[in-house]
Structure 1
Amino acid sequence: MRIKGSLLASVLLLCLGLASLFSTISPPAVDAADSQMVYWIPVEQEVERGLLRFLERGFQEAQEAGADEIVLEMDTLGGEVNAALDIGKLLRASEIPVTVYIKGEAISAGAYIALNADHILMTPGSAMGAAAPVTITGEEADPKTVAFWRSNMQAAAEAQGRDPEIAGGMVDRNVEIEGIKEKGELISLSAQQAVKLEMADKLVANEQEVLRFLKAEDAEVVHTDLTVSERIARFVTSPYVIPVLFTIGLAGIAIELFSPGFGIPGTIGLGAFVLYFFGHFLAGFAGYETLVLFVIGLILLAIEIFVAGFGLFGILGLIALVASLITAAPNVIFGLISLLIAMAVTTVGVYLAIRRLGTRGVWKRLVLLDNQRNESGYISQANRSTLTGKKGKTVTPLRPSGTAMIDGVRQDVVSDGGFIPVHTPVEVVGAEGGRLVVRQVKNPPPVSAADDSVNHKSIKED
């Protein structure tokens, strides 16, 4: 019994020792890469408000998903300055590290966006720089705008530890940097130059090398793409598309005025305006009040069609339409210029169409286009020039106008001189429009008894 008791005690002690040993051994560490997540967002085509809304959605989704990195795959030739500034703020405010992967070009506004990122990676053959601001017509901006944009580029570079002077040289031709830039030029860096000048972190060949740089080779990569509505918004808010939409809209409505019924041109015209408002509504430019203003303008113009003349309804309708189109644009001045361009193009097109095809439809009902010619039987008044030289007698005194019996017919006449008494012989000396000009006859021929009785009868009837 003692042997068995001691054996049992030994087994219990062994079990307790093993338990204590295993309790001191920590579980194997989980590789952090297994739980990493990278959000991959494309930055392509033009930089405009539609791109800003897309990036805001992508950054929000990355934040909600607990992403570790955000990669912006960039290939853009630039775009709107204000949109680029807001995108730069978005990158700086991000709690998630942002890496810009320049796969093609990062020119102008694209260079500014890249400079705001935590890391810049470039593929061989890519480029960044040449960020001089230009107007909508392609001309270089005024010195005040250049200075403003240069300061923003320099601030973005300086905040991320990059050379602000090189960033300023991408904007201002007057900046001179020894060994890098001469006066009158703009800095545009190749991938190798950017890495050498420490404006970019590293050359990478593909997505895998980007992830290797971020130490996230095994991370889950979530590719964010544009939705259909975002694609429409990006297309419609392009500064090159807005004047085209205005022209299509105005031309479609104008064609409907000169053609019978309401058909394809009118539908296309209204569709262009709907597309314009829809895209700008999605991009955050147009609100419901802008859409209401546009509808009110159309209603007022429709009312004006049924009101004689061009009055209050038509004027208010045009003001409402113009205001809605301009206020929905990214910039009021740009919207006004685009509308003026569209109106000029539409006016020229309508004029050429009328010269070639004539007018039909609603416009024909609104405007009197028929010519009433004498050859077609349209005579405003009888031609009384044949009465010139005819003689008669006044039925009433002429002071200087009155009535006379000419060739047996009562006529409204006017004296060519002063007062002519009643029953005075006169002669027609001219016919001016609707009146006969008469002159008193000197030494009149004797009047027969029959003529005298007729004259007296006419007087009594008067």
Structure 2
Amino acid sequence: MFSRRQRLAVYLAFILVACILLPVQSVLSNEEADDGQPVIYYIPVEQTVERGLEAFMSRSFETAKEEGATHIVLEMDTPGGAVDAAGNIANLIRNTEIPVITFVKNKAISAGAYIALNTDTIVMAPGSTMGAAAVIDGEGNAADKKTQTYWLAEMRGSAELNGRDPQYALAMADERIDLPELGAPAGELLTLTHTQALSVNYADHIASDRAELIEALGLENVIEKEMEVSFSEKVARFVTNPIVIPILLSVGSLGLVLELYSPGFGVPGIMGISALMLFFFGHMIAGFAGWESLILFVIGFLLIMVEIFVPGFGIFGLLGIGSIIGGMLLASFSTASMLIYIAIAIVITAISAILLFRYFGFRGPMKKMILSDSTSTEKGYISNRTRDELMGQVGEALTPLRPSGSAVFDRERLDVVTEGGYIEQGRQVEIIYTAGSRIVVREKKEI
């Protein structure tokens, strides 16, 4: 069996190797370009539009330029996503000198429709759709008026950029626009089929596959190259998803807390470190964080360990917490969003830890820091034994009881206390209650 240190060393070595291999990128190309031949670069735009996709597309456009691409084709199938990521992708397309074509293979919804409108040419496959681009908040409700106004302006500008009628772009984002002839009366958002898009000039061509696409573009003897999402970019896209981030932070913080209260280095520690490493390295691969954010986090973690095992005044703990939060903020693409994610993780960790400790108790390294032993009678500790045998005995007050004093019972002097009243010296008293060193008496009335 491996010791705790050996298990930890093996795990950290595995993490190090993974970090070295993750950034390896992959580009598949069919052949080298000859002079004068058109070169089409295919870039997949799939799943949710988020900051990880933005980082992938930025690298893809740069690679396409370096490879001498004459056309860039975005093969699109997306339900939409984040407004900020879509805006950055749109700026990337607008600032690219290479003609960009959107090939809608299945759907270009919401942010996908917005990205498509920014491209020079839109080609749709039979059965594909484009539209329904209303902007909503994180809870699925309509965004505030300021955001909606901005988004409508962006949709209009994107349509006008390439000579398309802006009313259809606005109808995709504003349900107040009435277009019953396209199946979008007032109260419904516009979603265009491939034939509808062609009829209103929102699709320039219809193509079933790449061969028909090339023919529709009027190109011949083309060289086709394809950009593939590397494993590291798949990780980055997963990790930078707004839903996944608070989950990772919660799992990471809860895992480390549980590791402090569990024996050895086991599942909680692996779970916590893995989640936090995924968070940091995913954001690093996506281009949002540098090594400084990870270093700051590690320093913060070490400072907290110092605070736990070295007596202090809380300075190391406060500095550690500040460093960890600072590292996460440096790794984020939005400070406000990251603060919300951290708050969610803290609440989930606190509630989960309380429930787990309540039902499973404390174990592990932190158990050494908590005094759980008690000086119970079962362990041989006796303090002020309750003398039940004195109950009912009658004696004489040796001193005035005001209300405490001394009395003698069967030639044994005891310290006693009355029920609250005064009893004169020499009076007969009866013991009515005993508890530890406390003996309560009452004056014995003569009949």
Q: TM-score range by the shorter chain?
A: 0.7 to 0.9
Mean CA deviation greater in 318-327 or 228-237: 318-327
Which residue number in structure 1 is paired with residue 210 of structure 2? Answer: 207
Q: Residues 338, 379 of structure 1: CA spacing in aligned structure 2 closer, same or farther, 3 A cutoff?
A: farther
Q: Residues 114, 375 of structure 1: CA spacing in aligned structure 2 closer, same or farther, 3 A cutoff?
A: same
What is the rounded CA distance, in whole Å, between the counterparts of 2:411 and 2:332 in structure 1? 77
Q: Residues 351, 157 of structure 1: CA spacing in aligned structure 2 closer, same or farther, 3 A cutoff?
A: same
Identity %: 45
Q: Residues 139, 437 of structure 1: CA spacing in aligned structure 2 closer, same or farther, 3 A cutoff?
A: same
Which residue number in structure 1 is paired with residue 234 of structure 2? Answer: 231
Which residue number in structure 2 is paired with residue 249 of structure 1? Answer: 252
Q: What amino acid is the match of 2:302?
A: I
Which residue number in structure 2 is paired with residue 108 of structure 1? Answer: 110
What is the rounded CA distance, in whole Å, between the counterparts of 2:421 and 2:212 in structure 1? 110
SS at match of 2:135: coil
What is the rounded CA distance, in whole Å, between the counterparts of 2:292 and 2:439 in structure 1? 66
Which residue number in structure 1 is paired with residue 43 of structure 2? Answer: 41
Residue by residue over 1:294-319, the C-alpha shift from the partner in whole angstroms, topping out at 9 and shown as x without a partner, is 21221122123224699343344334
Q: What amino acid is the match of 2:328?
A: L
Aligned-pair CA distance for 1:378: 4.6
What is the rounded CA distance, in whole Å, between the counterparts of 1:99 and 1:407 in structure 2? 109
Q: Gaps spanning 5+ residues in structure 2: where?
A: 1-33
Aligned-pair CA distance for 1:230: 1.6
Residue by residue over 1:218-268, the C-alpha shift from the partner in whole angstroms, topping out at 9 and shown as x without a partner, is 121111112222221111111222232123213322332332111122112
Question: Is the 1:387–1:428 Cα contact (8 Å) retained in structure 2?
Answer: no
Which residue number in structure 2 is paired with residue 4 of structure 1? Answer: none
Which residue number in structure 1 is paired with residue 363 of structure 2? Answer: 360
Q: What amino acid is the match of 2:363?
A: R
Instruction: Return the TM-score normalized by structure 1.
Output: 0.76
Which residue number in structure 1 is paired with residue 296 of structure 2? Answer: 293
Question: Is the 2:397–2:406 Cα contact (8 Å) retained in structure 1?
Answer: no
What is the rounded CA distance, in whole Å, between the counterparts of 2:404 and 2:356 in structure 1? 52
Q: What amino acid is the match of 2:245?
A: I
Which residue number in structure 2 is paired with residue 3 of structure 1? Answer: none
Question: Is the 2:395–2:407 Cα contact (8 Å) retained in structure 1?
Answer: no
The 5-angstrom pairing of residues 29-428 of structure 1 reads 34-177=36-179, 179-180=181-182, 181-307=184-310, 311-354=314-357, 356-369=359-372, 373-374=376-377, 377-383=380-386
Aligned-pair CA distance for 1:133: 1.4
Aligned-pair CA distance for 1:331: 2.7
What is the rounded CA distance, in whole Å, between the counterparts of 1:154 and 1:65 in structure 2? 33
Aligned length: 409
What is the rounded CA distance, in whole Å, between the counterparts of 1:370 and 1:149 in structure 2? 64
Rg larger in structure: 1
Aligned-pair CA distance for 1:346: 4.0
Aligned-pair CA distance for 1:411: 7.2
Mean CA deviation greater in 138-147 or 184-193: 138-147
Residue by residue over 1:53-86, the C-alpha shift from the partner in whole angstroms, topping out at 9 and shown as x without a partner, is 1111121122223321111111111111101100
Q: Residues 164, 372 of structure 1: CA spacing in aligned structure 2 closer, same or farther, 3 A cutoff?
A: farther
Aligned-pair CA distance for 1:142: 2.0
Instruction: Return the TM-score normalized by structure 2.
Output: 0.78
Question: Is the 2:386–2:435 Cα contact (8 Å) retained in structure 1?
Answer: no
SS at match of 2:122: strand
Which residue number in structure 2 is paired with residue 446 of structure 1? Answer: none
Question: Is the 1:34–1:218 Cα contact (8 Å) retained in structure 2?
Answer: no
SS at match of 1:249: helix
Q: What amino acid is the match of 1:251?
A: L
